Amino acid sequence: MTDWEPKIVSFLCNWCSYGAADLAGVSRMEYPPNIRVVRIPCTGRMSPKFALAALREGADAVWVSG
């Protein structure tokens, strides 16, 4: 790809944001295709290590949403 597209690693809570993401799909909304979702059981599961690892692995940003 010539145009750079960022990759945003997104940690989404299974019960909240993951559901919102699904509903956005059901409602056929549109948003930029840059997020890569990692489903986690609850934002409580989130550890700073995950965010750091993602950035280290070349992710352009990290988003945690509960």
Partner 1 sequence: MEYMGVEPDRLHFSWISSAESTKFVEVVSEITEKVKALGPNTHYVKKEAKVA
Partner 2 sequence: MITFKLNGKKVQGEEGQYILQVAEKYGVEIPTLCHHKALEPAGMCRLCTVELFDGRRTRFVTACNYPIWEGMEVKTDSEAVHQGRKLIVELLLARCPEVPLLQKLAEDYGIEKPRFKTEDDTCILCGLCVRMCEKMGNSAIALTGRGVEMKVDTPFHIQTDICMACGACASVCPTGHITLEKIRQEITRKQNVELIPSEYDMGLKGRKPVYVPYAQAVPNTPAIDRDVCIHFKTGGCKVCTQFCGVNAIDHSQEDEVVELEVGSIILSPGFKPFDPSRFDTYNYAKHPNVITSMEMERILSASGPTGGHLVRLSDHKEPKKIAWFQCVGSRDLNRCDNAYCSSVCCMYAIKEAVIAKEHAGDDLDCAIFFMDMRTHGKDFERFYNNAQGKGVRFVRSRVHSIDPIHGSDELAVRYVTEQGEIETETFDMIVLSIGLEIAPEVMALADKLGIELTDGNFCKTTSFEPVETSRKGIFVCGAFQGPKDIPQSVIDSSAAAASAGEILAAARDTCTRQPEVVPETNVVGERPRIGVFVCRCGINIAGVVDVPAVRDYAASLPYVEYVTDNLYSCSQDTQEVMTQIIRGKKLNRVVVAACTPKTHEPLFQETLTNAGLNKYLFEMCNIRNQDSWVHKNNPELATEKAKDLVRMAVSKVALMQPLEEAELEIKQVAMVIGGGIAGMAAARSLAKQGYQTHIVERSDRLGGQAHRLFRTSDGQEVAGNLKAMIKEIGDDPLITVHLKSEIKQVEGFVGNFKTEIVKEGKSEELEHGVAVIATGGAPLSPDEYCYGDDPRILSTLELDEKLMADDPELRKLESAVFIQCVGSRDDQRPYCSRVCCTHSIENAIELKERNPDADVYILYRDIRTYGEREYLYKQAREKGIIFIRYRLDAKPRVELDGKDLTVTVTDHVLQQPVQIRADLLTLATAIIPNKDEALAQFFKVPLNDDGFFVEKHAKLGPSEFATDGVFLCGLAHYPKPIDESIVQGRAAASRAITLLARKKIHTSGQVAETDPMLCSSCGVCISICPYSAPSFIPEDARMFAGKAQINPVLCKGCGLCVASCRSGAIHLKGFDNDQIFAQIFAVNQD
Binding of residue 38 to partner 1 (CB under 8 A): no
16-32 as b/e, with b when 16 or more CB fall inside 10 Å? ebbeebeeeeeeeeeee
Q: Determine the residue type at 3.
A: D
Task: Give dist(CA 36, CA 7) in Å, integer.
Answer: 7
Selected from 16, 49, 64, 65, the binder of partner 2 by CB under 8 A is 49
- Cβ proximity to partner 1: between 19 and 41 the closer is 19
Applying CB under 8 A, the residues found at the interface with partner 1 are 4, 6, 8, 15-24, 26-27, 29-32, 34-35, 51-52, 55-66
